[in-house]
Amino acid sequence: MINAIIIICAYLIGSIPSGLWIGKLFYKTDIREHGSGNLGGTNSFRVLGKKAGIIVTTLDILKGTVATILPIIPYFNDASIHPLILGAIAVVGHMFPIFAGFRGGKAVATSGGVLLGYAWPLFIVLIVGFFISLKITKIVSLSSMVVSVIGVIYCIIYVIVTGDYALLILVTLLAAFIFYRHRANIKRIKEGTEPKVKWL
């Protein structure tokens, strides 16, 4: 029973549509009707501005982190679900949120939050890699895909050292999800029409 409850909690945490709620509450704007129509941090930056974008991205990261560390909460101590599975469920919740008609974001920030909760050194590596890529390319979607590849490479080395195959499997799956969710972005990048950031 406790396993079922913790799984549901992880999904509901991931389903919190930060961009939608902040946009409607403070800006009277449904970001699904503007920009890319996406509920993630990138579209929040684009539609609501830098301040809102930072807040939404931070909240989306924390969703993954909180879901991953649920087993350390006293009530869930008896759960036998691996933390990374809970993190993955939160990512699914972010992409298909019950609170937003199952139209969510692309899960980059929430995936990062999972790694922050489980393997923070990898999270730091990816954050640094993301901003270096963004500084060079000015393209958020491309930088997101670049760091997903970096994450897989890191985990291959990490497995050799620690034998933690669970992390490699999860990061590989998350990378695949990220590429899949960025299909339209990949097409625009090839066509040279993908929007570029102006604040970095």
Q: Is the pLDDT of residue 185 over 80?
A: yes
Task: Check: CB of residue 124 under 8 Å from CB of residue 151.
Answer: no
Q: Mention every residue, 6+ apart, whose C-beta is less than 8 A from residue 74.
A: none
**Could you read off the pLDDT of 126-181 as tens digits, one per residue?**
999 999 999 999 999 999 999 999 999 999 999 998 888 999 999 999 899 889 98
How many C-beta atoms lie closer than 10 Å to residue 29's C-beta?
18
Query: Mean pLDDT across the stretch 175-200?
Result: 88
Tokens of 160: 């050799």
Q: What is the pLDDT of residues 55-112, one digit of tens each?
A: 999 999 999 999 999 999 888 888 899 999 999 999 999 999 999 989 888 888 999 9
What is the per-residue pLDDT for 133?
Answer: 95
* Cβ(174)–Cβ(148) below 8 Å: yes
Concatenated DSSP letters of 45-56: HHHH-HHHHHHH
Listed in sequence order, the DSSP H helices in 41-164 are 41-48, 50-68, 83-95, 108-118, 120-137, 140-162
The HSE-up count of residue 42 (CA atoms within 13 Å, CB side) is: 25
Alpha-carbon distance 9 to 2, whole Å?
10
pLDDT score, position 199: 67
